[in-house]
Structure 1
């Protein structure tokens, strides 16, 4: 397997609105990030992924971009951004930017022109259609509820918006659109960035006829007509040829609903498309028949099956991205661990998993502190458009408010977007003003200051995990083999690279369990590389009594 810097890196995701405010307006900003670069360097991460900081009306927290080459006033100036890039590079870290080109804002100059008339030169930059049978052109549902179409009064036609109605989809069939995107990407790469995270990139190629979606609702999910569409690989190979191949960069594509087989088409090194993709199969593990808001209990056997499938099927073909939370997902310690009595132990156990698999680990801001989900008492405290739309829609359909709030507490995107918890002072040191979204009330116990001072903290455990990846190539490139496939409490596996071999043992339960090493795993000695509990003297790897959420990584010889 080809060795590259991005395979050996650990990425830290910053959601700028919630990271650090520098001017007291309650909104995190670029100067705030600059003030915390030494903290990121101390953690040991290699790459920063910066969520959108571009000019935007902020309908979807910056994922509705009105100018791809300008910085939103809330976040600072292009000069601030240049100082951030320089500060990262000086500290030996790299920067990847969010690329949001499935859609723009309806306030982007292209769309302002496009909606003026049917014969405007920019009309074909977006996807316009006539009404069908007096209604929308088809029955597609928006990801954010309701129809994926909006009628525009100026011309009487509808435009497609798979997300918010303020996020019209770009028409990638138009080669002028693609040229504009490639020119914009080149502009940022020439400024010195180190790559892109590509928002919902597998949605850019739609079946041209835009047929109706299957289903019996008024509006139905039409993913079969716009996910991994007919020209997606042609477009990405063209993007790579025209732009990406000319720079030493990493790319990660957000690709919902891909299988390992489909993912390999995006990431195989002989195809010239992307470095890696984000896939979300694991993120659906607790979604019931009604989708993500229909929260159902998840099982470790299913968790292991999904993780193992991706580890095995991409091995030698392409590269995995490793994450358990991000700006769109709930906090991982609340979802997959125990954010109460065993918050520290389970956060460290989950971190051990992410940092000992094959792939590039992604840390979402605050994860390294064990930040948790939040339970705001009122909908007035929530800011996420998806959550607010869902609440109103479900309330109208007759679901009880208590039932809806339980779903939001489990899966709402604002769980991840509460401000970063820096210290125990007012608003946790995030701002001197009123934060745009309330700080999680547990900030007095869970914060950076407390974590740095505690040698046994989650933060310092992350530091050691990151150091281990740099010291042991087997953690990066080793082959993965699952052990105890049917065990409902223990996740155990080996990683092997030539004559180097690791054994990873993880207890996903709050009760003690007994681990028995399969006889097929032969070894002469075992050295502990890291663990969230101290192993008793003389403990046997063959049979080990695991404490609640215990994690051990051993080097076998």
Structure 2
């Protein structure tokens, strides 16, 4: 497939932005963010350069797991608004050139879902086989994903008189996704939201979604992908698959990539933090060298942080301890014995050099960047919230007002407390940074602009470039659309080295991309000299003869 045949593959060069409606903007001052507030802030995202909005669950829910315990797949939680408000968000986003994807959470439902409530009543209920039941706990039952909160994955239900499976919390019974009627219901859910104008789905906990009694069923993922494509040709599936690369690759499907469209790169994400802890790029370099090739229509999602804990479960115990010691020295900053509850700026003690280096790196790696709300201004977590994912699920900081410009409600009525301490809205907010040309917001905006002007990052092939310093990651991304070279220094002191441009010949030119005044670089015998300061970073465009690229 040539690049000219792939105009519908918008996700290859998209900039994703994940937010939770309830913590974004509250327009009626009840303390809970709403869809009307989101619609009012879409201009902020358009100005930032976001091209795809990813919405966390907004469905009716008891809210025992941040909305991932869904009570009705076809509605909007009344606290956030109505389906009409959702349609208005979709229309406004599309008018501004943004796609919208939503969470597909069908591994489990809330125990308050009508299906489960009906399933409990009788073995003869139509909904009994919507869930997984047993008379006893199997000897080979897997361990809970939350060992500090649950003692297993089977729970006895007094009303039903049987055990039901819950891969996550006990109030989230697993659906029997291997049953035809359950699959038919899931297809209806997909069809409903696609008909409303959704552009795709972020698929939650994919390895658990297809874990029926018969084991992994990749045929089901192919069916879902085919259904989504038929209903809306350019729709996509972004999957959460936190597995080693060799296992993760299977979830893209065959050589044509006919299962998940995109996957988050959890391996590189976790090795990034080990590299930061060691101030040595080697762990990340090794991960990128082992990253498997994927089909042209597939893509990796590169990210710094997400809405859950910063999981480190693919690191060894010793490596995990290194990262804990560096970035989560206090027990309350850790969760589930495998993760960190903090955001990057606080972990790096607010050092602007390191923070900017990390985001520059993420945007320069082959794939599509995924931002979590507030990252564009360098938000931190709430240090008063310990041992909980909620530490990073705080109100968006729009202004320096007491309610962060999120809400004028009484603080006791707000869905979450505003961040306190050095990362409080008095110090970190959108309003101040919009008017400061040197702010982090303006830096991220420039990164996005540069990324969007370099489609080779989304389409190209990665090469790790030789240079003598282990603390430096130098790489290129090359496609028929162009070539980009980038270098990032993980150490606090500067480094000087030479980069040889692969295939460079007479007439090639190199121009630096980041900064207000990109300067030409002297290309000498196929290479050029680089000087990076402590935690320094830079991108260069390689302009080959005949190219009409704008630096």
- Tell me the TM-score normalized by structure 2: 0.82
Structure 2 distance, partners of 1:266, 1:281, is 16
Deviation at 1:245, TM superposition (A): 2.9
> Which residue in the other structure is 1:448 paired with?
430
Asked whether the equivalents of residues 90 and 100 of structure 2 are also in contact (C-alpha less than 8 Å), the reply is yes
SS of 2:13's partner is coil
User: Residues 478-529 of structure 1: CA distance to partner in whole angstroms, max 9, x if unpaired?
Assistant: 2210124884311110112238322101112222233332586746532111
Structure 2 distance, partners of 1:298, 1:144, is 31
Relative distance call for 1:143 and 1:332 in structure 2 (3 A) is: closer
> Which residue in the other structure is 2:223 paired with?
238
Structure 1 distance, partners of 2:278, 2:203, is 31
User: Residues 355-374 of structure 1: CA distance to partner in whole angstroms, max 9, x if unpaired?
Assistant: 22221211111111112244
- Tell me the TM-score normalized by structure 1: 0.81
> Which residue in the other structure is 1:422 paired with?
398
> Which residue in the other structure is 1:303 paired with?
284
Structure 2 distance, partners of 1:338, 1:77, is 38
> Which residue in the other structure is 1:528 paired with?
512
Task: Find 1:22's aligned residue among 24, 27, 35.
Answer: 27
Structure 2 distance, partners of 1:471, 1:332, is 34
Structure 2 distance, partners of 1:455, 1:272, is 44
Structure 1 distance, partners of 2:516, 2:261, is 32
> Which residue in the other structure is 1:224 paired with?
none
> Which residue in the other structure is 1:397 paired with?
none
| 2:347 aligned with 1:366 | no
Deviation at 1:113, TM superposition (A): 0.7
Asked whether the equivalents of residues 268 and 318 of structure 1 are also in contact (C-alpha less than 8 Å), the reply is no
Structure 1 distance, partners of 2:498, 2:105, is 48
> Which residue in the other structure is 1:281 paired with?
267
Q: Write out aligned runs for 1:450-489 (5 A).
A: 450-484=432-466, 487-489=469-471
| 2:271 aligned with 1:266 | no
| 2:360 aligned with 1:342 | no
> Which residue in the other structure is 1:391 paired with?
none
> Which residue in the other structure is 1:399 paired with?
none
Task: Find 1:168's aligned residue among 170, 173, 186.
Answer: 173
State which drifts further: 77-86 or 200-209.
200-209
Structure 2 distance, partners of 1:531, 1:51, is 34
Deviation at 1:119, TM superposition (A): 1.9
Relative distance call for 1:297 and 1:551 in structure 2 (3 A) is: closer
Relative distance call for 1:267 and 1:533 in structure 2 (3 A) is: farther
| 2:85 aligned with 1:70 | no
Structure 1 distance, partners of 2:467, 2:254, is 28
Relative distance call for 1:31 and 1:486 in structure 2 (3 A) is: farther
Q: Write out aligned runs for 1:56-455 (5 A).
A: 56-132=61-137, 138-145=140-147, 146-206=151-211, 208=213, 229-231=215-217, 233-247=218-232, 248-260=234-246, 262-266=248-252, 270-285=256-271, 300-310=281-291, 313-314=293-294, 316=296, 318-330=298-310, 335=344, 339-340=348-349, 342-343=351-352, 345-376=353-384, 381=385, 387=387, 412-433=388-409, 434=411, 435-441=414-420, 442=423, 443-455=425-437
Relative distance call for 1:520 and 1:359 in structure 2 (3 A) is: closer
State which drifts further: 37-46 or 244-253.
244-253
Asked whether the equivalents of residues 374 and 396 of structure 2 are also in contact (C-alpha less than 8 Å), the reply is yes
Q: Which runs of 5+ in 1 are unaligned?
A: 210-228, 289-294, 388-411
Asked whether the equivalents of residues 464 and 476 of structure 2 are also in contact (C-alpha less than 8 Å), the reply is yes
User: Residues 56-89 of structure 1: CA distance to partner in whole angstroms, max 9, x if unpaired?
Assistant: 0111010000000011122121121111111111
> Which residue in the other structure is 1:6 paired with?
11
Structure 2 distance, partners of 1:76, 1:519, is 54
Structure 1 distance, partners of 2:341, 2:133, is 40
Asked whether the equivalents of residues 142 and 162 of structure 1 are also in contact (C-alpha less than 8 Å), the reply is yes
Q: Which runs of 5+ in 2 are unaligned?
A: 311-339, 544-551
Relative distance call for 1:59 and 1:341 in structure 2 (3 A) is: closer
Relative distance call for 1:425 and 1:337 in structure 2 (3 A) is: closer
Asked whether the equivalents of residues 482 and 494 of structure 1 are also in contact (C-alpha less than 8 Å), the reply is yes
